[in-house]
C-alpha cells in the first residue's frame, strides 16, 4: 500500500524552463540558446554526454520558438521550411542529404536549426559532397557533466517527485561517492525508494551506503 501511494504521487516528466537545473556545467549552452535567432548560419549544436539536459533544453527551445520537432531518421524537410526545427541525437545517424538541406535551409529568413548530439559535428559521417564543410562550420555549445550544484538540485527534485524526505546527510554522502550523471541520480533515488520500502525505514545515510555498496541483504546492519 505504501509503495502504491508513493508511486501515485510521482510527477510526470516535464520539459519546461523552471524545471531545468542551471549551473556552471551548462552555462555555455544556456548562453548560446539565448542568442537565438542570431545563430551563425541559423544553426546551433548542443553537445554533451548522456543525461546532461540536451533533450530538456532542446524541448524548452522548441516550445518557446514554435519549432518543428523532426524525426531523426526521417526528417520532414517541408515541416522545417521557414521556421525553427529541432533534431535530437544526430550523431546516432541521420540521412546525410536531408541534413545537408536542413543546414542550408536554416540560413534562410524565419528558419533555424537546433541539433543535439553526444559527439561534435566534426566527428559525424559526411557521405554527401560539401556536407563535411557544413558540419565543420556549425557553432557548438558544450554541456559538461553535472557539478555538485546541479547534482544536488536534481537529487532533491527526484526525491520530491517520490514524496521522499531524506535525512540531510544523505546529499553530501551521495555527492562524494555516486556516478556523476543525472540518469544515475534518478536511478539512485529509485533504488533508495525501493530499499526504504522493503526495509520499512526512512532514506538515511546508512541506507544510501548500503545501496551504493550493493548490500541490500544487510540493511539491518546499519543503524
User: What rounded mean pLDDT belongs to the chain?
Assistant: 88
Helices (H), 35-83: 54-65
Which is higher by pLDDT, 50 or 58? Answer: 58
* pLDDT bucket at 56, cuts 50 / 70 / 90: very high
Q: What pLDDT does residue 77 have?
A: 96
pTM of the model: 0.79
Question: Could you give the CA distance from residue 96 to residue 171 in angstroms, rounded to a whole number?
Answer: 45
Q: What pLDDT does residue 16 have?
A: 79
Question: Could you give the CA distance from residue 52 to residue 37 in angstroms, rounded to a whole number?
Answer: 23
192 in Cβ contact with 184 (< 8 Å):
no
What does the angle CA 217 – CA 211 – CA 185 come to, to the nearest 5 degrees? 155
* pLDDT bucket at 13, cuts 50 / 70 / 90: low
Q: Exposed/middle/buried for 71, CB within 10 Å: 0-12, 13-18, 19+?
A: exposed
Q: What pLDDT does residue 17 have?
A: 82
Q: Which of 105, 140, 100, 106 is nearest to 120 (CA)?
A: 140
Question: Could you give the CA distance from residue 123 to residue 133 in angstroms, rounded to a whole number?
Answer: 12
C-alpha cell at 158: 527526484
* Phi, psi (deg, nearest 5) at residue 62: -60, -40
Which is higher by pLDDT, 20 or 215? Answer: 20
Q: How far from 22 is each of 105, 128, 152, 188, CA to CA, in Å?
A: 31, 37, 12, 21
pLDDT tens digits, one per residue of 135-180: 999 999 999 989 999 999 999 999 999 999 999 999 999 999 998 8
C-alpha cell at 191: 533504488
Cell 557553432 locates to 139
Cell 523532426 locates to 70
Amino acid at each position: 500500500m505504501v509503495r502504491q501511494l508513493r508511486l501515485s504521487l510521482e510527477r510526470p516528466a516535464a520539459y519546461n524552463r523552471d524545471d531545468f537545473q542551471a549551473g556552471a556545467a551548462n552555462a555555455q549552452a544556456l548562453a548560446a540558446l539565448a542568442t537565438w535567432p542570431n545563430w551563425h548560419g541559423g544553426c546551433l549544436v548542443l553537445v554533451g554526454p548522456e543525461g546532461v539536459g540536451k533533450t530538456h533544453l532542446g524541448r524548452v527551445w522548441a516550445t518557446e520558438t514554435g519549432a518543428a520537432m523532426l524525426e531523426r531518421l526521417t526528417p520532414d524537410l517541408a515541416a522545417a521550411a521557414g521556421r525553427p526545427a529541432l533534431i535530437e541525437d544526430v550523431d546516432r545517424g541521420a540521412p546525410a542529404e536531408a541534413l545537408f538541406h536542413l543546414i542550408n535551409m536554416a540560413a534562410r529568413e524565419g528558419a533555424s536549426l537546433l541539433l543535439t548530439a553526444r559527439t561534435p559535428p566534426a566527428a559525424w559521417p559526411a557521405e554527401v559532397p560539401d556536407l563535411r564543410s557544413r558540419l565543420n562550420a556549425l557553432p557548438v555549445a558544450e554541456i559538461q557533466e553535472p557539478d555538485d550544484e546541479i547534482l544536488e538540485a536534481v537529487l532533491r527534485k527526484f526525491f520530491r517527485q517520490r514524496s521522499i524526505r531524506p535525512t540531510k546527510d544523505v546529499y553530501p554522502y551521495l555527492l562524494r561517492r555516486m556516478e556523476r550523471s543525472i540518469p544515475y541520480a534518478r536511478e539512485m533515488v529509485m533504488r533508495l525508494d525501493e530499499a526504504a520500502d522493503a526495509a520499512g525505514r526512512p532514506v538515511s545515510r546508512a541506507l544510501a551506503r548500503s545501496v551504493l555498496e550493493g548490500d541490500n541483504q544487510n540493511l539491518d546492519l546499519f543503524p
